[in-house]
Amino acid sequence: MDNIQKKQAPNYTFALIVMFAVMFLIGFITTMNNSMIEFCKEAFGLKDSQGQLVNTAFYGAYALSIPLGMMMNKIGYKKTLLLGLAVVGIGFVINYFGISSLLGMETSVIYSVFLGSMFIVALGIVMLQLVANPYVMVLGSPEKGAFRMTLSNALNSAATTVAPVFITYVIIAGKAKTPDAVPGPYLGLGIFTLILCVVLFFLKLPNINEEQQAEEESGERKEYKSSVFSYAHVWFGMLGIFFYLGIELGVPSMLPAYFKSNPELAAYGTATDFLPYYWGGMMVGRFVGAAILNKFKPRRILSICLCCGALCVAASFFLTGIASVWAMLAAGLFHSVMWPLVFNLGLQELGPHTKKASGIINLGVVGGATLPLLMGWIVDNPALGVGYAVAMMFIYYVYVFWFCNFGSKIGLSKKKGSLE
């Protein structure tokens, strides 16, 4: 291979700050969407299944991850970032004016407009996700890629912790649960997002050539396959994210059913009272993970966290009463670093294919719409129940462990890399 002269590493501090802010925004909007479900159910007079259509509309947009990833490959990170912010802002504005103009009509019509506008918002969020994950990884050395992604996801977790409190005590506090109260929270966020888009339009963000960057880092000229679809570890990474969503959402999705099947737990409160501990544990875990990734390799950290998370869930089967609940909640501490590490492993050694690969891996987010639903069906089956549903999580753990230690290495260079 031809030797490539190494250049002095550029300073990406400003670009990283921008992306960290974007990750916070992604977390805030996503959690805000979930936090408004109960409010919308009462405002529109919906059944539980109808209320869950909010999540279907939102996460369904991730089915377009691959074509949007191909678009990003053509127009670049910054233009995709700006387009994503614009689409999010426009979706929120449509939400406000669409619902406001239809007040007095059938609630089903108003709710349909609400769902349509949230799908538009979700399309923008998908674009932001497509930019944030690979862009953060390439804004610096590959060795620190997992650290940067974990730190950015820690800020995302901070937003998921703050958003429900902000919604409950600031946005909807004291408001009557009627259709006219629904669009208010979204208009301000839409205006803020559009202003952020305009500001970033005039700011310079580095345009990264992943192939050139890889050559400068290694000092060697690398050859890449003609198509991103030829990289097996990318597809295995997509499935890794798919099953990871089952891991992350398994505990919060099953906890209400667990409380219902164990009436004695009512003395301690409701499942909703305990869920902040799970999400808070994920936030703490991501900040801790960002620190220790400077000293330990990503694969080792991910393997340990998968084993510890599975042990916490397993302990909940052997413990009784509130102790079993705390065992399940403790798993959040170990689930915290899985998303950025799985994503990082799926984007290895891709050079010019990094942007398209991000779209493929993001497709795995549809696991958040399918696996909890599957677990819900198991809970509703009288012959099975919540115990069997929770046990499904062990299948998810096993696959992600396999991907971490075997699947993510398929087709890569034989020499021992920085992620070992």
What CATH number did the domain enclosing 40 receive?
A: 1.20.1250.20
**Domain shared by 188 and 262, yes or no:** no
Residue 417 counted as domain residue:
no
| 210 alpha carbon, distance to own chain's centre | 23
Q: Structure pTM?
A: 0.78
* 256 has a pLDDT exceeding 90: no
pLDDT of residue 19: 85
Q: Residues 394-409: what's their mean pLDDT?
A: 95
405 and 269 fall within a common domain: yes
Query: Is the same domain home to 264 and 350?
Result: yes
Instruction: Give me the pLDDT at residue 254, please.
Output: 87
Does any domain span residue 200? yes
Q: What is the identity of the amino acid at 76? A: G
Mean pLDDT value of segment 67-83: 89
Q: How far is CA 321 from the centre of its chain?
A: 31
CA distance 27 to 279: 12
Please tell me whether residues 303 and 370 are part of one structural domain. yes
- Domain range enclosing 125: 13-208
CA distances to 53, 55, 177, 182, 272 from 38, rounded to whole Å, are: 12, 12, 10, 11, 12
- Number of domains making up the chain: 2
Q: Does 293 lie in the same domain as 235?
A: yes
Q: Are 199 and 231 in the same domain? A: no
Q: Where does a domain end: 158, 174, 208? A: 208
* Residue 44 confidence (pLDDT) above 80: no
pLDDT at 1: 46
Closest alpha carbon to 375 in 203, 257, 241, 228: 257
Pairwise pLDDT comparison (395 vs 43), residue with the higher score: 395
| Residue 118 falls inside a structural domain | yes
Residue 335 has pLDDT above 90, yes or no: yes
- Note whether 193 and 234 are same-domain residues: no
- b/e map of 391-414 (b: 16 or more CB within 10 Å)? ebbeebbebbbbbbeebbbeebee
Domain-ending residue, one of 178, 208, 238: 208
pLDDT of 418 above 60: no
Q: What is the DSSP string of 177-196?
A: -SGGGSSHHHHHHHHHHHHH
231 and 378 fall within a common domain: yes
- Is the per-residue pLDDT at 133 higher than 90? no
Residue 366 lies in a domain: yes
Identify the domain boundary among 156, 179, 208.
208
Residues 383 and 297 in one domain: yes
Asked if residue 222 belongs to a domain, the reply is no
Please give the radius of gyration of the chain, using alpha carbons only, rounded to the nearest integer: 22
Same domain, 142 and 264: no
The answer as to whether 6 is a domain residue is no
pLDDT at 159: 84
Q: Are residues 244 and 295 in the same domain?
A: yes
Regarding whether 278 and 193 lie in a shared domain, the answer is no
- 2 occurs within a structural domain: no
In a domain, 297, yes or no: yes
Whether the per-residue pLDDT at 4 is higher than 50: the answer is no
377 pLDDT exceeds 70?
yes
